[in-house]
Structure 1
Amino acid sequence: MTRVRCKFFSLTETPEDYTIIVDEEGFKELPESEHLSVAEATWLALNVVSGGGSATNSQPIGVTKIAKSVIAPLADHNISVFMLSTYQTDFILVRERDLPMVMHTLSSEFTLLRVINGETVAANSLGVTNGFPQ
C-alpha cells in the first residue's frame, strides 16, 4: 500500500483529549478506532495573507488584523469559524457547507485565491454568487 502524506496536519493535546486536524488524504490514513470521534461537518482551512496574493511573496496578516477584518464579517453573518495559528501563519477553518456564504461575505473586501495543483488562481471559479452555488 502506498502511503500519501497529507498536506495539512495539526495535533493539539489537552489534559482532556487530543485533537487531530488533517486534510482528506490524512483522514483516509487514520486507522479505524472506537476511541476516535469525527466531527460531523467537514471544515476547510483558509489561509489569510496580505500583499500580492501569491503564497510565496505574501506576508501573514497577523491574528489581530485577521480578527478585525475577516472573522468579524463572518460573525455578522452567523458563520462559525475555528482559528488555528502557527508561528508562520494563521488559518481560519470554516464549515464546508458555509463556503458559499463565506465567499460572498469576503469577496467584497478581499481578493480570494485558491491553490490548484500548486498554482494560485482566482477563487471565483468556485461558481458562487450571492452566497449560493450557481
Structure 2
Amino acid sequence: MSISASINISLSNHSRESLSLPDLFQNFENEGWTYVKSNGEITILPLGDDDYNWTSSVLNRDSFFDILKKKQDQKEIIGIELMRVDSEVGCELLIFNTNQMMFSLSIARKKINAKDDIDITDFSWYLERVLPVLKNLQVEQISCEQF
C-alpha cells in the first residue's frame, strides 16, 4: 500500500505581498535544502504545464528564476523538487499562489521510528527544516496529512 504525505502551509496576505521567489529559494538554500541535483539538473513543472509533467534540465540561476517569474505572472502552479543536502530526503514543493504551499513528502520519506513497522511520517522532522525558511513571513495555517 502506498502512503501519501504532505504539509500544507498558508501565509498571510501581508506575506504574500512581500514574498520574493528568489529570496524564498535563497532561504531554502540557507537552511540546508537544494534544488540543483548533483548532475546540475533542476526538476520543475515547466511553463505552460497544467498536468504535473515534471521535467529535469540544466538551468542556470537566472533562467530558473525567469521561469518562476513567468509562471507566477501567468498564475501557474510553481513546482520544484527540493532535496536536503545532508540526506537522501526530499520533497516536491508546489506553490499554488504566493501564499499557499504544499510539500509532497515523496522522496525517501522520513518516518517515525516505532515498533511493529508502523508507517507514520515524521512531520516534526520536516517542520523543523521547513519553518526556518519562512521565518520572516507570517504563517497563518499548517496542516499535515498522511493517507
**TM-score grouping bracket, smaller chain normalisation:** 0.3 to 0.5
TM-score (normalised: structure 2): 0.34
Q: TM-score, normalised by structure 1?
A: 0.37
Using CA pairs under 8 Å that are at least 6 residues apart, name the structure with larger relative contact order, 1 or 2. Answer: 2
Which protein has the larger Cα radius of gyration, Structure 1 or Structure 2?
1
